[in-house]
């Protein structure tokens, strides 16, 4: 029901906690670039920047293999049963929500050149209205095929052929070999401690390590003494993130290519290294950020009655991904390759069969060795900034989880690939005194209204082990909700 934000054609990252064993493990279900796509290939096309729409930024969709792997190892139901509700919604439709209709209107001019996109999202050649029933019969058939034949059809069978035909017909490089050789990886999460809590994030090619390094910087500062929602508080969090991102981002590219081993990564997220970075905090003035990029994503936090927990994030990267919808299959293909750099000196430079630096970063926090907070946020490279605000709101300022998510928020940096925007985007609910003080410090403010999804869309479940209570919280900035049964 959110086909503009995620699809079968996207990527996913999982953190999975099993209560019976006490084990937390990560699952990297991100896809790789085509073997036929390289710096030389794009130079021959006279390209100096990675395209962000169309066939060239399409990488292997990794999410479907992730579903299959997670279900096989931790699930209790067959794939056909899991897919049944999705098939129902695709076949019989659902009333269009405001966000999807807004997205269609916003991107219609940009994406209308793609016939398959028009056929899918402009039925009968017109823009649909809020509340209108939206049916996706081709997607329903694709899901039925997955339920019947299993995930192998997606990577080596009928669906795979449809994907390849779609991309190559449009001039892209994705081939049958790229899909057939796709695999997901079980990984050990990275962690650090913050004021008595252990925070877990995904390792590279996720940017999760950046959040951990920023928390290490903040732990050596009295964040609470800065005051809630003050300019001093916002500046501290922004500076910690800036320093962490500058040092950690080069280390967060595909480890199969970066040559950066666990020893180097452990040092970068160590308390000792954070102490060195902390000495570089600019405490009274704004400092420019490096350019960043945006995304469109969904996030899920789940805890069951046995204490098992999942933090899952999926994405097609940009809104409507590449803009290409697989003909006769009904799903958008991601444009995750748009995050690659064409600079041959960049750690995140394009190469064949490589995973790009990824914005997706599901998270969990433990207290006394058990899950305490399952959390994450949509929002591209702003995800780490949103996570820092959520954690400090709860841990340093004592807000409950819903209050922490609803608090006025800010995000600094560009939102789309290729932009050089260094604005500090804020919600108008941030106190006026704080806004004036931030301006005086040199921040260029971009006011977004009282509530804006451009500052992230966070969701979380706080687990009260003592009271055996789950506190779910959803972000009013998104279409999500907290539900228990």
- Domain containing residue 386: 187-293+359-474
Residue 228: pLDDT over 70: yes
Residue 84: pLDDT over 80: yes
As given in the structure block, the two tokens for residue 276 are 């060195």
Q: Which helix (DSSP H) or strand (DSSP E) does residue 79 occupy? A: helix 79-92
| pLDDT of the residue at 296 | 61
> Residues with catalytic annotation?
297
Write down the pTM of the prediction. Answer: 0.95
Q: How many domains does the chain have?
A: 1
What CATH number does the domain containing 450 carry?
1.10.246.130
Q: What is the mean pLDDT of residues 376-390?
A: 93
Q: Do the domain assignments include residue 171?
A: no
Helix 79-92 crosses helix 63-74 at what angle (to 10 degrees)?
140
Q: pLDDT over 90 for what percent of the chain?
A: 88
How far apart, in whole angstroms, are the C-alpha atoms of residue 320 and residue 331?
A: 10
pLDDT digits (tens, 9 = 90+) for 100-153: 999 999 999 999 999 999 999 998 899 999 999 999 999 999 999 999 999 999
Residue 295 banded pLDDT, cuts 50, 70, 90: low
Q: Do the domain assignments include residue 133?
A: no
| pLDDT of the residue at 259 | 85
Residue 415: pLDDT over 80: no
Q: Do the domain assignments include residue 408?
A: yes
Q: Do the domain assignments include residue 244?
A: yes
How far apart, in whole angstroms, are the C-alpha atoms of residue 395 and residue 419?
A: 34
Q: Do the domain assignments include residue 465?
A: yes
DSSP 437: H
Residue 77: pLDDT over 50: yes
| pLDDT of the residue at 282 | 85
Alpha-carbon distances of 57 from 163, 235, 362, rounded to whole Å = 14, 35, 23
Q: Do the domain assignments include residue 112?
A: no
Q: Do the domain assignments include residue 24?
A: no
As given in the structure block, the two tokens for residue 60 are 């292997």
Residue 416: pLDDT over 60: no
- Determine how β-strand 363-367 pairs with β-strand 23-29: unpaired
Place of tokens 């950066």: 260
| Pairs from 283-290 (Cβ < 8 Å, separation ≥ 24) | 283/235, 283/239, 284/441, 285/441, 285/442, 286/235, 286/238, 286/424, 286/438, 286/441, 286/442, 286/443, 287/239, 287/242, 288/422, 289/242, 289/245, 289/412, 289/413, 289/422, 290/245, 290/246, 290/249, 290/413
Q: Do the domain assignments include residue 26?
A: no
**Range with the lowest mean pLDDT among 292-306, 349-363, 453-467?**
292-306
Helix 208-219 crosses helix 383-395 at what angle (to 10 degrees)?
40
Residue 293: pLDDT over 60: no
| 483: number of Cβ within 10 Å | 7
């Amino acid at each position: 029901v959110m086909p503009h934000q995620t699809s079968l054609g996207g990527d996913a990252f999982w953190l999975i906690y099993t209560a019976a064993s006490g084990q937390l493990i990560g699952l990297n279900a991100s896809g790789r670039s085509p073997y036929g796509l390289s710096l030389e290939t794009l130079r021959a096309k006279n390209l100096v920047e990675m395209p962000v729409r169309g066939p060239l930024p399409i990488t292997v969709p990794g999410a479907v293999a992730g579903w299959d792997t997670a279900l096989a190892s931790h699930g209790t139901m067959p794939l056909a049963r899991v897919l049944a509700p999705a098939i129902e919604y695709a076949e019989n439709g659902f009333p269009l929500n405001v966000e999807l209709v807004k997205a269609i209107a916003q991107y219609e001019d940009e994406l209308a050149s793609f016939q398959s996109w028009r056929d899918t999202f402009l039925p009968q050649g017109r823009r649909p209205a809020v509340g209108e029933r939206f049916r996706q019969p081709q997607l329903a058939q694709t899901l039925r095929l997955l339920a019947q034949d299993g995930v192998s059809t997606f990577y080596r069978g009928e669906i795979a052929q449809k994907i390849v035909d779609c991309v190559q017909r449009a001039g892209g490089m994705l081939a049958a070999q790229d899909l057939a050789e796709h695999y997901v990886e079980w990984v050990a999460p990275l962690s650090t401690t913050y004021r008595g809590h252990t925070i877990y994030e995904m390792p590279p090619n996720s940017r999760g390590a950046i959040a951990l390094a920023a928390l290490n910087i903040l732990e050596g500062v009295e964040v609470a003494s800065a005051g809630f929602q003050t300019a001093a508080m916002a500046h501290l969090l922004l500076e910690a993130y800036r320093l962490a991102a500058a040092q950690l981002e080069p280390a967060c590219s595909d480890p199969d290519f970066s040559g950066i081993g666990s020893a180097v990564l452990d040092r970068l997220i160590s308390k000792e290294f954070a102490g060195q970075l902390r000495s570089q905090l600019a405490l009274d003035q704004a400092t420019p950020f490096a350019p960043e990029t945006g995304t469109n994503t969904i996030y899920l936090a789940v805890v069951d009655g046995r204490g098992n927990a999942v933090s899952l994030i999926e994405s097609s990267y940009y809104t409507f991904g590449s803009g290409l919808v697989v003909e006769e299959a009904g799903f958008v293909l991601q444009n995750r390759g748009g995050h690659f750099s064409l600079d041959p000196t960049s750690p995140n430079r394009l190469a064949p069969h490589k995973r790009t630096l990824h914005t997706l970063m599901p998270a969990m926090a433990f207290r006394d060795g058990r899950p305490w907070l399952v959390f994450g946020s949509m929002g591209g490279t702003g995800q780490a900034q949103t996570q820092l605000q959520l954690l400090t709101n709860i841990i340093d300022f004592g807000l409950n989880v819903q209050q922490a998510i609803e608090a006025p928020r800010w995000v600094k940096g560009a939102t789309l690939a290729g932009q050089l925007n260094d604005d500090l985007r804020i919600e108008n609910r941030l106190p006026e005194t704080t806004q004036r003080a931030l301006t005086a410090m040199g921040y260029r403010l971009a006011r977004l209204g009282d509530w804006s999804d451009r500052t992230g869309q966070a969701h979380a479940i706080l687990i009260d082990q003592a009271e055996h209570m789950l506190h779910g919280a959803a972000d009013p900035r998104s279409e999500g909700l907290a539900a228990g049964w």
